[in-house]
Amino acid sequence: MSELLLVPLEYAFFGRALLAGLLIGAMSGALSVFVVLRRMSYIGHGLAHAVLGGVAVGVAMGVDLYVGAIAATALAAVLIDRVTRRRGLHADAAIGVVTTTIFAIGVGTLALVPTRVNLEALLFGNILGVNRTDLSVAAAVGAAFLVLVVVRYKALVFTTFDPEVARVHGIRVDRIELLFSLLTAAVVVASVRVLGVLLIAAAVVLPAAIARLLTRGFAAMLALSTALGVLTAVVGLYLSFHVDVPSGPTIVVTGALLFVLAFVGTAVAGRLGLARARRDARPGTIDVDPIANVSR
């Protein structure tokens, strides 16, 4: 067992991937709570498509992968916010229109301008591809994420549960919504190498979905979701190494298995509790202690 855990650490690329996974797992887990409670699970999927479009255009123009990704996701986040706020469309419609357009531009660019982009690694993640630049990006996004959540925690929570009341209390809801979109975009960009474009959406939904089944308090849900994000990232990366499968699928499958366990476990516990309550509520039932009877 110790060999399974220690042998991968002998390789520098796995150490870098593990550090990136810890940062990304914590960020995606914490962000997941706000995404799920806002009922905006589609935003991770949409912004991930925008990443692919930005990367394609950026590489075709000869710039760094992250330059194109950051530009595309930031543009998508701002446009989603503007379309939703000024035209009266729901967020899911705005996300679909904006991000699929950017994605289509990227696909068209790849067809017109052949590049050496490793599409498989970009779509599904690759622990071999994690380098110091990826670590630096993940660390920078993680630090910014922590600062923004701590500084704007009350405003984020308030607008998550009741934006109308938050507006009445003087909170600039429009700015908080834009901040949330940009925060999500930053996490998506930082996650590309490890999770891949197609699987980022699951990583920012599963941790909070599991935590929602196991707890109801917001603070407890946030802590549990963050821990689950880290756990699924670490376990998924180890599985990726030993099974020789891209890191994104193993991380998502790990999270999905935990979700199934939580779903089945809470369902069974709920039924047992209901059956016990019905039994205790029956009239004329007597609680008999067999051990006491034997001792007599």
CB contact at 8 A, 201 and 214: no
Helices (H), 113-172: 119-124, 132-151, 153-161, 163-168
For residue 215, the one-letter residue type is T
The pLDDT of residue 4: 80
Q: Tell me: the pLDDT tens digits for 53-100?
A: 888 888 778 888 788 888 998 898 888 888 877 656 677 788 888 888
Q: Which residue is associated with the tokens 């110091």?
A: 132
Is 290 a domain residue?
no
Q: What is the mean pLDDT of residues 238-257?
A: 91
Is 284 a domain residue?
no
* pTM of full prediction above 0.75: yes
Q: Tell me: the pLDDT tens digits for 209-243?
A: 999 999 988 999 999 999 999 999 999 999 999 99
Stronger pLDDT, 267 or 113, i.e. the higher one? 267
Q: At what angle do helices 12-37 and 218-243 cross, to 10 degrees?
A: 150
- Residue 242: CATH number of its domain: 1.10.3470.10
Whether 296 has a pLDDT exceeding 50, the answer reads no
The pLDDT of residue 43: 79
The average confidence (pLDDT) of the chain is 85
**Domain enclosing residue 196, as ranges:** 2-277
Is 293 a domain residue?
no
Query: How many domains is the chain built from?
Result: 1
CB neighbours (10 Å) of residue 218? Answer: 13
Is 144 a domain residue?
yes
Is 296 a domain residue?
no
Q: Tell me: the pLDDT tens digits for 73-83?
A: 889 888 888 88
Is 287 a domain residue?
no
Is 289 a domain residue?
no
The pLDDT of residue 272: 86
Is 285 a domain residue?
no
Query: For the stretch 53-68, what's the b/e string if a residue is b when 16 or more beta carbons lie within 10 angstroms of its beta carbon?
Result: bbbbbbbbeeeebbeb
